[in-house]
Amino acid sequence: MSSLGELPVQVGPLSDELTYGRLIRGLRAQDIKLPEIRAELRRLWIEYGLIVFRGSRVTPEFQVDLSEVFGESEIHPVASFQHPEIEKLIRITTDTSGDDEDLIEVDGNVVAGWIPWHKDIVFTERLNHGGILHATKIVSSGGETGYLDQIEAYERLSPRMQRAVEDLEVVYHVTPIDESSFYADEKVRYLKVGAPLRAMLERDWPRVVHPLVIKQPGTERKLLNYSPLWAQHVVGMDRDESDALLQELSAFLWNIPAYYHEWEPDDMVLWDNWRMLHRVMPAPFDEVRVVERTTISGDYGFGRIL
Ligand SMILES: [Fe+2]
């Protein structure tokens, strides 16, 4: 661990095994007023992709102010996710007693909160640059947030696969999650589709395209720009060949060791949505998990409407 600038704030690896991620302990609201600290936080975010802030005094205001160190806030395109009071936050809960939440059977277990590997808003041509997540209500088991580095994923691809995916593009579109074999490793069945997901499925989204390989803006490191969730087919490829390739890519990602964040009350997690995939592990359906997230604006410039 080293200190962040001159501050009594510790910075270190998230774990000894990971090539990405940083843990920052004890960051305070006043610290992010300093220009040199803001610049160092931005550098760490781009360099390491994922930052866990632990031991901070978290308030919605601090979460939003910290998020704006990394870019302007963006309002989420699906209004039903909106936080009831704070415009710059979205709220995702697993209170299955109301109309908002999904009830899902995953590998035979009835759960809530589960979301497979994805990039946020990959079903639009723009990818927002990231977000800061904070769990305001934690469940007794499960509900971890997983993160997977796609720079590492690209490096782990065989030379054959690196060549195969180099110039390909994938079409993304919102379709029912339990109807695609690319979306998830688990056997999934929706018992109840909540209002936010229903609104997403009912809306007439344009089909969009994202390249499978990009270079990270700023560092030029290659990354595998693939989101299993919402992937449909490879542009210009025969359907069977495309299905086989996407299935292979999804299975490849499912087998890469990932970081799973186990939430403590004052944690905030920041990630780079251009680089990292994330997911949510199943939570008990009879408990309530609540997370609130900022959306860091930006357009990585590689996507387009088909
Ligand atoms: Fe997400």
* 3 alpha carbon – ligand 1 mean position (Å): 30
Q: What is the pLDDT of residue 252?
A: 98
Structure tokens at 205: 């989204």
- DSSP assignment of 121-167 equals TTTSSS---EEEEEEEE--SS--PEEEEEHHHHHHHS-HHHHHHHTT
* 277 alpha carbon – ligand 1 mean position (Å): 8
Q: Which residue has the tokens 């919605």?
A: 60
Q: Compute how many other C-beta atoms are within 10 angstroms of the C-beta atom of residue 74.
A: 18
Closest CA to 158 of 249, 277, 274, 276: 249
* 132 alpha carbon – ligand 1 mean position (Å): 11
* 241 alpha carbon – ligand 1 mean position (Å): 29
* 215 alpha carbon – ligand 1 mean position (Å): 22
Q: Is the pTM of this model over 0.85?
A: yes
Q: What is the pLDDT of residue 21?
A: 98
CA atoms of 281 and 36, how far apart (whole Å): 36
Q: What is the pLDDT of residue 79?
A: 78
Reading the chain (306 residues) residue by residue, the pLDDT tens digits are: 899 988 999 999 999 999 999 999 999 999 999 999 999 999 999 999 999 999 999 999 999 999 999 999 998 777 778 888 899 999 988 887 888 889 999 999 999 999 999 999 999 999 999 999 999 999 999 999 999 999 999 999 999 999 999 999 999 999 999 999 999 999 999 999 998 899 999 999 999 999 999 999 999 999 999 999 999 999 999 999 999 999 999 999 999 999 999 999 999 999 999 999 999 999 999 999 999 999 999 999 999 999
Each domain of the chain, given as residue ranges in start order, spans 2-298
* 278 alpha carbon – ligand 1 mean position (Å): 6
pLDDT tens-digit readout, 192-231: 999 889 999 999 999 999 999 999 999 999 999 999 999 9
Structure tokens at 159: 């030379």
CA atoms of 46 and 219, how far apart (whole Å): 8
The CATH label, of 3.50.30.30, 3.60.130.10, 3.40.50.2020, 2.70.98.60, for the domain at 2-298 is: 3.60.130.10
CA atoms of 171 and 37, how far apart (whole Å): 39
Q: What is the pLDDT of residue 214?
A: 98
Q: What is the pLDDT of residue 294?
A: 96
Q: What is the pLDDT of residue 260?
A: 98
Q: What is the pLDDT of residue 163?
A: 97
